[in-house]
């Protein structure tokens, strides 16, 4: 059997795709995989903030078109870049273990912690979720909008004379970047991550049972649960790139604990709420917390 795997062309996207192919091949040595790089709108328009180009679909639409057309069989994405709703005819299949879910500060050489950043220091991020949360902890900082792939954003520390940038730990770890002391992990109590940060999404055609069965062997149960709950939260808030949205789900035995973050476009309101549930109500938990928080925001 041969699987044609679609992916964006960034270093991170290719690394993630090859990781998934390696896991598949270990479990199914007879399966042959071919990688097809697909450019998305988000890759082509490089100089605009994401929320000026469109929603999350700017990184997925062209790839999903090829899945539906049958020119590829499977796509590997970062789950956090996926819109809440998938096009008709496609679904997410099983997923391997989550990487570190946290955000990190990559700091300029010589700065070793968030408290070390000079008063009024400059931090780069294009994410409202990251911006308003870091400002809660250090209101004096100046947040500079930046875009580009991970390597580009790290280079901007020198190029744009920043004190640091905020990135996902998962991207840095998967790329194997060795930034040593320059990386400070941000506890989720300070910066709640994006829903499903660090989780991979493997998208296939809804009726492709054969591929679904192959992917079952790479499944990581706790990650599947976290992905379902956090994506339900994203769907519940109508997740866009225009407002700050965060979520993290912890699984302990048959209990799940979900924290959510939601704010207004201008960051004036930023609320963080919590819900507990059981394994038999995964999507409900995410949805209920999201709807309660949206209601509360509309009253504020
Ligand atoms: N928005 C881009 C993006 N999409 C996925 C990751 C990292 C990997 C992941 O979170 O799974 C990143 C980089 C970042 O946010 O720093």
CATH code for the domain in which residue 141 is found: 3.40.190.10
3 state DSSP class of 172: helix
Whether residue 127 is found in the same domain as residue 15: no
Instruction: State the pairing for strand pair 164-168/122-124.
Output: parallel
Domain ends where: 186, 210, 241?
A: 186
Average pLDDT, the chain: 94
Whether residue 77 is found in the same domain as residue 141: no
Pocket probe mutation, ligand 1, options 9, 11, 12, max atoms within 8 Å of Cβ: 12
pLDDT band of 41, cuts 50, 70, 90: confident
Whether residue 108 is found in the same domain as residue 175: yes
pLDDT band of 55, cuts 50, 70, 90: confident
In a domain, 240, yes or no: yes
Whether residue 244 is found in the same domain as residue 113: no
Ligand 1 neighbourhood includes 168 CB (under 6 angstroms): yes
Whether residue 83 is found in the same domain as residue 4: yes
Answer whether residue 50 shows pLDDT above 90: no
Whether residue 181 is found in the same domain as residue 123: yes
Whether residue 90 is found in the same domain as residue 119: no
CB of 263 closer than 8 Å to CB of 270: yes
Tell me how far the alpha carbon of residue 171 lies from the centroid of ligand 1, in angstroms.
Answer: 6
In a domain, 193, yes or no: no
CB of 211 closer than 8 Å to CB of 90: no
Whether residue 205 is found in the same domain as residue 227: no
In a domain, 192, yes or no: no
In a domain, 112, yes or no: yes
Residue nearest to atom 15 of ligand 1 (CA): 168
In a domain, 253, yes or no: yes
Q: What region does 120 belong to: left with phi over 0, alpha with psi -120 to 50, or beta? A: left
Ligand 1 neighbourhood includes 80 CB (under 6 angstroms): yes
Residue nearest to atom 11 of ligand 1 (CA): 198
Number of Cβ atoms within 10 Å of the Cβ of 276: 11
Whether residue 88 is found in the same domain as residue 121: no
Whether residue 72 is found in the same domain as residue 150: no
In a domain, 66, yes or no: yes
Number of Cβ atoms within 10 Å of the Cβ of 45: 14
In a domain, 146, yes or no: yes
Tell me how far the alpha carbon of residue 78 lies from the centroid of ligand 1, in angstroms.
Answer: 7
CB neighbour burial string for 156-165, b if at least 16 within 10 angstroms, e if fewer: bbeeeebbbb
How far, in Å, CA of 199 to CA of 77, rounded?
Answer: 9
Residue 45 β-bridge partners? none
**Crossing angle, helix 150-159 and helix 11-27, to 10 degrees?**
150
Lowest mean pLDDT of 54-63, 72-81, 210-219, 284-293, name the range. 54-63
Tell me how far the alpha carbon of residue 57 lies from the centroid of ligand 1, in angstroms.
Answer: 15
In a domain, 194, yes or no: no
Answer whether residue 240 shows pLDDT above 70: no
* pLDDT of the residue at 241: 60
Tell me how far the alpha carbon of residue 30 lies from the centroid of ligand 1, in angstroms.
Answer: 32
Instruction: Domain of residue 32: give its range.
Output: 1-95+199-219
Residue nearest to atom 9 of ligand 1 (CA): 198
Answer whether residue 239 shows pLDDT above 70: no
Q: What is the interface pTM, i.e. ipTM, of the complex?
A: 0.94
CB of 146 closer than 8 Å to CB of 123: no
pLDDT tens, residue by residue, 99-156: 999 999 999 999 999 999 999 999 999 999 999 999 999 999 999 999 888 999 999 9
Q: How many domains does the chain have?
A: 3
How far, in Å, CA of 110 to CA of 19, rounded?
Answer: 34
Nearest to 125 by CA among 186, 200, 174: 186
Q: Which two tokens stand for residue 295?
A: 């209601």
Ligand 1 neighbourhood includes 198 CB (under 6 angstroms): yes
The gap from C-alpha 187 to its chain's centroid, in whole angstroms, comes to 16
Ligand 1 neighbourhood includes 167 CB (under 6 angstroms): yes
How far, in Å, CA of 234 to CA of 236, rounded?
Answer: 5
Ligand 1 neighbourhood includes 127 CB (under 6 angstroms): no
Helices marked H in 36-167 — which ranges?
41-44, 50-53, 61-69, 128-137, 150-159
3 state DSSP class of 265: coil
Q: Which two tokens stand for residue 127?
A: 């994410």
Lowest mean pLDDT of 40-49, 95-104, 244-253, 257-266, name the range. 40-49
Whether residue 65 is found in the same domain as residue 113: no
Place of tokens 């995410």: 286
Whether residue 269 is found in the same domain as residue 155: no
How far, in Å, CA of 257 to CA of 136, rounded?
Answer: 24
Domain CATH for 252 = 3.30.160.40
Catalytic positions are 81
Q: State whether the Cα torsion 173-168-226-254 is positive or negative.
A: positive
């Amino acid at each position: 059997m041969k699987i044609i795997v679609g992916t964006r062309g960034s270093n991170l996207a290719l690394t993630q795709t090859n990781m998934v192919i390696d896991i598949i091949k270990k479990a199914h040595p007879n399966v042959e995989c071919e990688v097809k790089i697909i450019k998305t709108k988000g890759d082509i328009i490089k100089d605009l903030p994401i929320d000026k180009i469109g929603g999350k679909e700017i990184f997925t639409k062209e790839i999903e078109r090829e899945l539906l057309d049958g020119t590829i069989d499977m796509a590997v994405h970062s789950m956090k870049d996926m819109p809440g709703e998938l096009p008709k005819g496609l679904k997410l299949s099983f997923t391997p273990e989550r990487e570190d879910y946290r955000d990190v500060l990559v700091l300029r050489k010589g700065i070793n912690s968030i408290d070390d950043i000079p008063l009024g220091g400059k931090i780069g991020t294009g994410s409202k979720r990251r911006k308003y949360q870091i400002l809660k902890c250090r209101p004096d900082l100046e947040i500079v909008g930046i875009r580009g792939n991970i390597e580009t954003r790290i280079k901007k520390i020198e190029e744009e004379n920043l004190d640091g940038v905020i990135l996902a730990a998962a991207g840095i770890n998967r790329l194997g970047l060795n930034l040593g002391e320059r990386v400070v992990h941000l506890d989720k109590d300070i910066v709640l991550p994006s829903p499903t940060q660090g989780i991979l999404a493997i998208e296939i055609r809804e009726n492709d049972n054969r591929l679904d069965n192959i992917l079952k062997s790479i499944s990581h149960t706790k990650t599947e649960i976290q992905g379902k709950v956090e994506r339900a939260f994203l769907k519940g808030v109508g997740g866009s790139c225009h407002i700050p949205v965060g979520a993290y789900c912890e699984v302990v035995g048959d209990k799940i604990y979900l924290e959510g973050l939601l704010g207004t476009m201008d960051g004036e309101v930023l609320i963080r709420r919590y819900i507990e549930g059981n394994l038999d109500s995964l999507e409900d938990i995410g949805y209920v917390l999201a709807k309660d928080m949206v209601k509360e925001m509309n009253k504020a």
